[in-house]
């Protein structure tokens, strides 16, 4: 799953730690999300959507399956 969390974080001038604190996760979780190593829960995706004021599908994109 692709995402643009890093871009949204930069637009809002948040560090990874700032973002983690705002949505109640660890900085390591944000790092893993940005690296594409972690697929968020629905609740986490909705928290990010609300914080960035963007629909979930503008933050996350399913990659085509081969």
Q: What tens-digit pLDDT sequence spans the chain (66 residues)?
A: 899 999 999 999 999 999 999 999 999 999 999 999 999 999 999 999 999 999 999 999 988 776
pTM exceeds 0.85: yes
Question: What is the Cα–Cα distance from 12 to 15, expressed in whole angstroms?
Answer: 9
Q: What is 2-54's CATH superfamily?
A: lambda repressor-like DNA-binding domains (1.10.260.40)
Length of the chain: 66
| 22, 3 Cβ separation under 8 angstroms | no
Whole-angstrom CA distances from 56 to 3, 28, 32, 66 are 10, 21, 18, 23
């Amino acid at each position: 799953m692709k995402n643009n969390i890093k871009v949204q974080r930069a637009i809002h001038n948040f560090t990874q730690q700032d973002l983690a604190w705002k949505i109640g996760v660890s900085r390591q979780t944000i790092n893993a999300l940005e690296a594409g190593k972690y697929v968020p829960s629905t609740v986490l995706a909705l928290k990010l959507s609300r914080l960035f004021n963007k629909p979930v599908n503008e933050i996350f994109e399913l990659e085509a399956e081969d």
